[in-house]
Homo-oligomer: A and B are copies of this chain.
Amino acid sequence: MVGEHRRARPTLALVAKEAGVSIGTASNILSGKTELHTPETVEAVLSVARRLGYRPNRIARSLVARQTHTIGVIMEPAHTVFTRNIYATGVMDGLVEVLGAQGYHLKIISLTELDPRTLWAQIDDGTIDGAVLLVPLIGSPLLEWHQHTVLPCVVVGSVFPESLEFYCVDSDSRHGIRLVVEWLIQQGHRQIGFLRGPDVQTSAIEREEAFRETLQAYGIPVREAWILGHSYHREGGYEAMHALLQLPERPTAVVCANDLIALGAMEACRERGISVPQEISITGFDDIPIAGLVDPPLTTVRNPIHEIGFHAGEALLEQIRRGEPKRGVRLFAGELIVRASVRRLTG
């Protein structure tokens, strides 16, 4: 067609010119400050904007305002597979809920670069107003990064000492494990094993510690040989359980550091023809959706992941708004979910 040219995206300047007003006037009106202008001017600008299909360029706006209305969700390389990471997706649900309602968006930053210096430049590049560190691992360069930035920041799923100056939000691992162990003891179990999570996660360490402490509190000896495993995944639970079942002496119950481990453990039992809970009782942690659907349904502790995400989002917004960092730890306690994977020992 004659005269057609690549229609460039209309800018504020164009709208202003077409409407016969200055750029400042157009800016005011199109960003909602209509009370500064006469109804006629407002209407003129608005109608031109509509006709031209004007959409404000948020990048330009962000450059001036120095804020982007975007929150970065920083994921360790090990976590970037969402489908394997129920925790991450649950937290994101909570985040989306709070932040979305406040007009914030999420930017997923999956780290590939692990050199602390470039890592830090990559994250704090002006495109986010705050960051959620999703389950940072012990020793992660992420933690070091924080020393160099003033970006508001919340840690979710890991709990670090105050000295690191983070605000940490997580489930109360110690409390949850205590619930589970006490339940087992109450059901008559005294021979209890534990399948651990990875030793780079603070929650895994806390869960193991809580396991030991609770047994000790009840005067039950801790059998080191029955403490196995080093992964939060099903495969890890499967292998650890296999190893456990090969020992000359077996516990009557096994506490798993999370549900996936428990699932793997149950699989290992099934494979060996060992029935759960008749021959061995198993408990989990998290209460993931599958937990109630497997056979037998898993006794576990609910992990209020969604609330955690929600609270983390709120805490982050608070930091952003007040402009001052927040420190400390906030733990969410879960309740025991009794299902059928634990047998009551009589006699």
Q: When chains A and B are docked, how far (Å) is the Cα of A124 from the Cα of B112?
A: 27
A101 within 8 Å of B by Cβ? yes
B127 near A53: Cβ-Cβ < 8 Å: no
Q: Say whether A225 faces chain B, with CB atoms less than 8 Å apart.
A: no
Task: Judge if A140 is at the interface, Cβ distance under 8 Å.
Answer: no
Candidates B90, B106, B110, B293; contact of A108 at CB < 8 Å: B106
A134 to chain B, nearest CB (A): 13
Interface contact B110-A107, CB-CB below 8 Å: no
Q: Is A83 an interface residue (CB 8 A)?
A: yes
Complex interface: chain B residues within 8 A of A126 (CB): 55, 57-60
Q: Give the chain B neighbours of A148 by CB distance below 8 A.
A: 53
Q: Contacts of A155 on B, CB cut-off 8 Å?
A: none
Interface residues of A in 88-103 (CB under 8 A from B): 89-90, 92-93, 96-97, 100-101
Give Cα A124–Cα B64 distance, bound, in whole angstroms.
19
Q: Is A332 an interface residue (CB 8 A)?
A: no
Contact between B127 and A100, CB atoms less than 8 A apart? no
**Nearest chain B residue, comparing its CB with the CB of A260:** B289
Closest to A58 in B: B125
Q: Return A99 CB to nearest CB of chain B, in Å.
A: 9
Residues of B within 8 A of A27 (CB): none
In the docked arrangement, what's the CA distance between A100 and B81, Å?
12
Q: Are the CB atoms of A59 and B294 closer together than 8 Å?
A: no
Most chain B CB inside 10 Å of its own CB: which residue of A63, A83, A92, A289: A83
On whether the beta carbons of B109 and A107 are closer than 8 Å, the reply is: no
* In the complex with contacts A82-B82, A83-B90, A290-B293, A107-B70 CB distance below 8 A: yes
| A120 contact set on B, CB distance < 8 A | 55
Contact with B along A98-135 (1 / 0, CB 8 A): 00110001111110100001001100111100000000
Provide the bound-state CA to CA distance between A289 and B82, in Å.
13
Contact yes or no, B83 A289, CB < 8 A: yes
**Is the C-beta of A209 less than 8 angstroms from some C-beta in chain B?**
no
Instruction: Tell whether A56 is near chain B: CB-to-CB under 8 Å.
Output: yes
A127 contacts B58, CB within 8 Å?
yes
Task: For residue A107, give the distance in angstroms from its CB to the closest CB of chain B.
Answer: 5
Among A81, A148, A306, find the residue whose CB has the most chain B CB atoms closer than 10 A.
A81
Chain B CB within 8 A of A215 CB = no
Which residues of the partner chain B approach A50 to less than 8 Å between Cβ atoms? 117
Within 8 A of B (CB), among A16-64: 50, 53, 55-60, 62-63
A118 to chain B, nearest CB (A): 10
Question: By the criterion CB–CB under 8 Å, are B108 and A112 in contact?
Answer: no
Q: Tell me whether A86 is interfacial, beta carbon within 8 Å.
A: yes
B124 touching A55, Cβ below 8 Å: yes
* A201 interfacial contact with B, CB 8 Å: no
Whole-angstrom distance between the alpha carbons of A117 and B200 in the complex?
48
With contacts A82-B90, A89-B89, A101-B112 known, what are 20 further pairs, Cβ within 8 A? A55-B124, A57-B126, A58-B126, A59-B59, A59-B62, A60-B126, A63-B63, A80-B100, A82-B96, A83-B90, A83-B289, A83-B306, A92-B108, A96-B108, A96-B110, A106-B107, A106-B108, A108-B108, A263-B293, A294-B295
